[in-house]
Amino acid sequence: MKPEIKALTFDVFGTVVDWRSSIIEEGNQLNSEWGWELNWEDFADRWRGMYQPSMEEVRSGKREWVILDTLHRESLLTLLDEYECKGVSEERVEHLNRMWHRLRPWSDSVEGLGRLKKRFILATLSNGNVALLVNMAKFSSLPWDAVLGAEVSRSFKPMPHTYLTTASMLGLAPEECMMVAAHNSDLQVASGLGFRTAFVCRPEEYGPKQRTDLEAEDDYDLIANDFINLAEQLNC
């Protein structure tokens, strides 16, 4: 018999927050305020497109540990150059990079997390750094019990160390943790390490043209439409 689930560990980007719409919406506001004419749908997709390759430099050992804020910033500077945005002030670069600290939750996230928090420890298991996730939690009222994942383990998912350190810091065996994610690959790695798994479908994370992660591709413990449905299935 499997042990009782004590903690839910959450992927954040795409699973808890709608990064793409958040970036596009804030970007369009900045276009108005700053007199820019950036296509923020393209910009958001290309910025996010640099996410995995930038982490891979660290995962592969090519470069030493850096936090996601640093990688986001490097990608941002590259993109601003490609979009021929010249002479952007340091203050504006920092403001743009902090968009990732101001992402908005999906409409069901806050209510669902609030219900789940009564029964479980809620921890992030995200590639975001602590400050990014803490600021996002303050901004979007995400009630985490612990902000764990990449920075405290000094490794990026899907390295096993990221998952195992998070469980270990909670004083739990992987089997006592349920990984919650909208991405099959994340859950498959977690499952291989002993975590329980819950797939939460987010078919619009990548906008109307999304082609991946439209459904659960494995035999997870739970499959939910959203966090309220997840709370219901977990009797919260």
Select the residue interacting with a second copy from 3, 49, 171, 192 (CB under 8 A).
171
Residue type, 191: S
Q: How far is the CB of 176 from a second copy (least distance, A)?
A: 11
- Contact between 134 and a second copy per CB under 8 A: yes
Distance CA 228, CA 188 (A): 23
Of residues 86 and 118, the one with the C-beta less far from a second copy:
118
Alpha helices by DSSP H, the chain:
19-34, 40-49, 51-59, 68-82, 90-97, 109-117, 130-140, 150-153, 160-169, 184-192, 227-233
Angle between helices 51-59 and 40-49 (to 10 degrees): 20
Number of Cβ atoms within 10 Å of the Cβ of 12: 26
Stretch that binds a second copy, among 30-38, 44-52, 102-110, 139-147 (CB under 8 A): 139-147
Which listed residue (130, 159, 193, 201) binds a second copy by CB under 8 A?
130
CB-wise, 145 or 175, nearer to a second copy?
145
Binding footprint of a second copy on the chain (CB under 8 A): 69, 121, 123, 129-132, 134-135, 137-138, 144-148, 151-152, 169-172
